Amino acid sequence: MSRDVAGPVWRAHDSLLRRNVAIKEIRPQFHEHGADLHETRHRALREARSAGRLNHPAVISVHDLLEVDGRLWIVMELLEALTLKDTVRHLGHLPVHWTAWIGFQLLGGLRHAHGTGVLHRDINPGNILLTGNRVVLSDFGIAALHGGSSQSTTMPLSYAPAFIAPERLRGGRATPAGDLWSFGACLYFAVEGRPPHPAAGPPAAVRVTPPVKAGPLRPVLEGLLRHDPAARMSGGQAARMLSEILRTEGVAVAPPLLPAARLPPDSFTT
């Protein structure tokens, strides 16, 4: 058993399909009552199931979502990996080309999710997993199960202010631009070895400290960490810039893929 911000994670064995899995019990922190609680729970389960349909190597696979006697369980792919948080703590900071490679792989999964109308809402170094050959974003759908729908102002599970978009800290709803800010904050943390701004202070006072170790990554970080979400760099722009950095560093990567051309109805609002 391990433990993360969402609660205990159990290593288990699926006897039917004969594979090891990870199982996490989710304990929703809903504050609504009566009929509102029922609707919120229904919306959260629907959104988490949508996240479970994501299929990308940079997104952890969700095998099943169970509700037994009022308790919620999510069955996921089991990975033996270090988190980005632990890796940076051990090494101090990561080289530019490592950070660019991690970011490029991760952004592929995030753009895939956004292209299918699914938000993450809680991207932070603790749920970015590094294996031998994969970069994997975990906990898609977990925020929804805890009541953090796209229309909610509920804070993410980790409540790590340095990795939450300023508009979310001010009570705004979750959006793809908010996910991209958190993604940029994680890249900043990787290459600089520290969060992009001090955690203390009111949301209006959020000011990103200029990076000093980022080199060619600096324009990417500055574009993703713009205070105004309308002026923030898009995922497509970031992917192209990261691929160019990697090409310059002599690291071959596939061209960035386009997300879905048309989103499902009510994307980001379920």
Active site residues per annotation: 122
Q: What is the CA radius of gyration of the chain?
A: 18
Separation CA 245–CA 96 (nearest Å): 9
Strand ranges (E), the chain: 2-4, 7-14, 19-26, 62-68, 71-77, 82-83, 128-130, 135-137
Report the SS3 class of residue 216: helix
Report the SS3 class of residue 236: helix
Strand ranges (E), 94-218: 128-130, 135-137
Q: Give the burial class of 200: count Cβ atoms within 10 A of its Cβ; 0-12 exposed, 13-18 middle, 19 or more buried.
A: exposed
Q: In what order do the strands lie in the sheet with 62-68?
A: 2-4, 7-14, 19-26, 71-77, 62-68
Report the SS3 class of residue 193: coil
